[in-house]
């Protein structure tokens, strides 16, 4: 039983046992974007659990718009890697020095190192023309697919499997390589495998000095946009500093 | 140590201890879209942990494009509820009977029951004009915000806090109610609180017969789009049935 800010007891019967709660946070805070992998293959039972976790994400209207395309073939991954390299060179053009050198020096993907690549797609036609809850914001199908990706990422972390998201692939070319129909959206191209150097304590872009983690308090507002304090929330913003890890 | 499909040992040093791994899956499989809430307020420390979990989601280029707008005010929530009701009536027009009656009979949101509403937004300008990894697919900012929502949802589940996503609110009107600038995207409008009837075993849309869960095997293809079997993956698709509830 917890107490709220007035000291009143609150219902908490649904919370997980302490060690399981700790496990949820361990996966969340210990998850990393992994870019260097062992070549060892992921056991089938582990992969099955991770995909099942993805499939149990929430989706608008229970639409389940996702598909999972598993890619192990070296030649296919080489084509994707070539596409990724082109995009990387193109992106570099827009950075000024010294950012450009830094950008080009970082290892940002493990397409060929990882034993498995996985393209998670979204089929906007799944569930027919009228999906419950999708009337105002059609993109909720893609949102749902992203939620599946995060489930997968966290389950993989729990299993000790690293996941890296290659976000710079153009969808038209990627569809061509993988045979994906024009109406289906490649949402996430992921590399999966055991991380070569474990899971680091901080994201690479933070530890390398590329960009800082923002203070949580600067991202929270109360009752209306941008209001960083409010009568009804007195004392709350100080409590709101990260308390775990 | 696990073994892969050839019986070879694979590195698994990074996996979580069994009870923590179980906890990760417990949050993933036990998470529900909650629509009926106790009025009890969520303790500040619990809320802080849940928001911190959201803030530790992956983001493209470590952009952290999310903001969290906490709404407790009754009058604001009444305006959002009115908007939701309009959208619900408008959506009903597009369902044929008997789906229309069924749609209108389901309780799909708890905007006024829940003690807390939370709008998670995405600021596409955060991090400047050139965000690492965002050159090919600008929408990866919104994708990142969705990953934060899923972290929040799972952390809340671990804490025994229910979360419901109200997906039918038009963004223009919602911006107006909450004072959100035109360039900022309201990605998720969430209701948070302790669930009135615990966490059900299955999603409402499944248990009510609205729509079935798809078999995972029908969503997985191998090496190229739509290939439901492949030499290199012999025997895998049978293993791929859900193994964890």
pLDDT digits 0-9 by tens, A61-71:
999 999 999 99
Q: Which of B129, B159, B1, B33 is nearest to A11 (CA)?
A: B159
Q: How far is CA A130 from CA A6, A31, B93, B158, B171, in A?
A: 45, 36, 11, 33, 19
> For chain A, what is the mean pLDDT?
91
- Give pLDDT tens digits for B94-103: 999 999 999 9
Alpha carbon of A217: minimum distance to chain B alpha carbons (Å) = 10
Q: Is A6 a residue whose pLDDT tops 70? A: no
Residue A232 pLDDT:
75
Count the neighbouring beta carbons within 10 Å of the beta carbon of residue B35.
Answer: 21
- Give pLDDT tens digits for A10-65: 455 799 999 999 999 999 999 999 999 999 999 999 999 999 999 999 999 999 99
- B60: in domain: yes
Q: Is B168 a residue whose pLDDT tops 90? A: yes
Asked if B48 and A243 count as a contact pair (C-beta separation under 8 A), the reply is yes
- Cβ distance of A23 and B3 shorter than 8 Å: no
Q: Which of A169, A194, A196, A200 is nearest to A88 (CA)?
A: A169
Task: Over range A229-237, report the average pLDDT.
Answer: 67
Residue of A nearest to B207 (CA): A62
Q: Band of the pLDDT at B31, cuts 50, 70, 90?
A: very high
- B120: in domain: yes
- Cβ distance of A130 and B64 shorter than 8 Å: no
Which residue's structure tokens are 């084509």? A79
User: What is the distance between the alpha carbons of residues A179 and B229, in angstroms, rounded to a whole number?
Assistant: 15
Residue B242 pLDDT:
39
Q: How far is CA A59 from CA A53, B142, B170, in A?
A: 13, 16, 18
The residue with greater pLDDT, A132 or A235, is A132
- B229: in domain: no
Q: Where are the alpha helices (DSSP H) in chain B?
A: 18-30, 44-55, 74-92, 99-105, 140-159, 171-178, 204-207, 236-239
Q: How many domains does chain A have?
A: 1
Alpha carbon of A180: minimum distance to chain B alpha carbons (Å) = 5
User: What is the distance between the alpha carbons of residues A67 and A57, in angstroms, rounded to a whole number?
Assistant: 13
The residue with greater pLDDT, A224 or B237, is A224
Q: Is B24 a residue whose pLDDT tops 70? A: yes
Q: Band of the pLDDT at B243, cuts 50, 70, 90?
A: very low
Chain A contacts of B147, Cβ < 8 Å? Answer: 146-147, 149-150, 153
Q: Which phi and psi (to 5°) does residue A180 adopt?
A: -80, 130
Q: Which of B182, B184, B179 is nearest to B71 (CA)?
A: B179
Count the neighbouring beta carbons within 10 Å of the beta carbon of residue A103.
Answer: 19
- Cβ distance of A221 and B70 shorter than 8 Å: yes
Count the neighbouring beta carbons within 10 Å of the beta carbon of residue A238.
Answer: 10
- B237: in domain: no
What range does the domain containing B174 cover?
Answer: 31-198
Residue B231 pLDDT:
78
- A216: in domain: no
- A166: in domain: yes
User: What is the distance between the alpha carbons of residues B225 and B221, in angstroms, rounded to a whole number?
Assistant: 6
Chain B contacts of A68, Cβ < 8 Å? Answer: 219-221
Asked if A109 and A164 count as a contact pair (C-beta separation under 8 A), the reply is yes
- Cβ distance of B52 and A243 shorter than 8 Å: yes
User: What is the distance between the alpha carbons of residues A148 and A54, in angstroms, rounded to a whole number?
Assistant: 4
Residue B62 pLDDT:
97
Alpha carbon of B141: minimum distance to chain A alpha carbons (Å) = 11
- Cβ distance of A25 and B53 shorter than 8 Å: yes
Asked if B13 and B91 count as a contact pair (C-beta separation under 8 A), the reply is no
Q: Is A237 a residue whose pLDDT tops 70? A: no
Q: Is B41 a residue whose pLDDT tops 70? A: yes
Q: Where are the alpha helices (DSSP H) in chain A?
A: 18-30, 44-55, 74-92, 99-105, 140-159, 171-178, 204-207, 236-239
Any residues with CB less than 8 A from the CB of B230 and at least 6 apart, and which?
B222, B223
User: What is the distance between the alpha carbons of residues A5 and B43, in angstroms, rounded to a whole number?
Assistant: 6
Alpha carbon of A8: minimum distance to chain B alpha carbons (Å) = 9
Chain B contacts of A165, Cβ < 8 Å? Answer: 58
Residues A73, A78, A83, A86: what is their CA dihedral angle, to the nearest 10 degrees?
Answer: 160
- Cβ distance of A194 and B14 shorter than 8 Å: yes
Chain A contacts of B13, Cβ < 8 Å? Answer: 160, 198
- Cβ distance of B15 and A211 shorter than 8 Å: no
Element (H, E) at B192: strand B185-193
Q: Find the CATH number of the domain harbouring B51.
A: 3.40.109.10
Q: Is B5 a residue whose pLDDT tops 60? A: no
Residue B1 pLDDT:
38
User: Which ipTM value was assigned to this complex?
Assistant: 0.93
- Selected for mutation to probe chain B from A1, A18, A20 (highest B CB count within 10 Å) is A20
Chain B contacts of A213, Cβ < 8 Å? Answer: 62, 64
**B44 DSSP β-pair partners:** none
Q: How many angstroms from the chain centroid is the CA of residue B201?
A: 17
From the list A11, A61, A143, the residue facing B38 with the nearest CB is: A11
Phi-psi region of A194 (alpha: psi -120 to 50; beta: other; left: phi over 0): beta
User: What is the distance between the alpha carbons of residues A193 and B185, in angstroms, rounded to a whole number?
Assistant: 34
Element (H, E) at A227: none
Q: Band of the pLDDT at B230, cuts 50, 70, 90?
A: confident
Asked if A51 and A208 count as a contact pair (C-beta separation under 8 A), the reply is no
- Give pLDDT tens digits for A165-188: 999 999 999 999 999 999 999 999
Tell me the longest C-alpha to C-alpha distance in chain B. Answer: 62
Q: Is A98 a residue whose pLDDT tops 70? A: yes
Residue A234 pLDDT:
58
- Give pLDDT tens digits for B45-90: 999 999 999 999 999 999 999 999 999 999 999 999 999 999 999 9
Q: Band of the pLDDT at A236, cuts 50, 70, 90?
A: low
Chain B contacts of A19, Cβ < 8 Å? Answer: 19-20, 23
Residue B12 pLDDT:
54
- A123: in domain: yes
The residue with greater pLDDT, A235 or A98, is A98
- B20: in domain: no
User: What is the distance between the alpha carbons of residues A197 and A174, in angstroms, rounded to a whole number?
Assistant: 29
Element (H, E) at B191: strand B185-193
Residues across chain A: 245
> For chain B, what is the mean pLDDT?
91
């Amino acid at each position: 039983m917890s107490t709220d800010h007035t000291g009143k007891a609150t219902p908490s019967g649904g919370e997980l046992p302490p060690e399981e709660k700790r496990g949820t946070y361990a996966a969340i805070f210990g998850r990393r974007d992994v870019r260097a992998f062992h070549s060892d293959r992921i056991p089938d039972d582990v992969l099955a659990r991770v995909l099942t976790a993805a499939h149990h994400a929430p989706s608008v209207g229970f639409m389940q718009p996702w598909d999972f395309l598993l890619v192990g073939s070296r030649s296919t991954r080489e084509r994707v890697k070539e596409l990724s390299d082109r995009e990387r060179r193109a992106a570099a053009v827009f950075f000024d020095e010294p950012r450009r050198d830094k950008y080009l020096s970082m290892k940002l993907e493990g397409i060929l190192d990882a034993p498995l690549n996985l393209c998670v797609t979204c089929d906007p036609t799944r569930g027919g023309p009228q999906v419950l809850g999708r009337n105002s914001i059609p993109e909720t199908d893609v949102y749902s697919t992203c939620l599946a990706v995060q489930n997968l990422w966290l389950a993989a972390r729990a299993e000790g499997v690293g996941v890296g998201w290659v976000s710079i692939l153009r969808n038209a070319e990627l569809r061509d390589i993988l045979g994906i129909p024009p109406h289906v959206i490649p949402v996430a191209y992921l590399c999966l495998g055991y991380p070569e150097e474990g899971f680091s304590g901080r994201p690479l872009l933070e530890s390398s000095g590329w960009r800082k983690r923002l203070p949580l308090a600067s991202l929270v507002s109360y009752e209306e946009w941008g209001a960083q304090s409010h009568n009804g929330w007195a004392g709350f913003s100080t409590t709101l500093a990260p308390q775990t890890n």
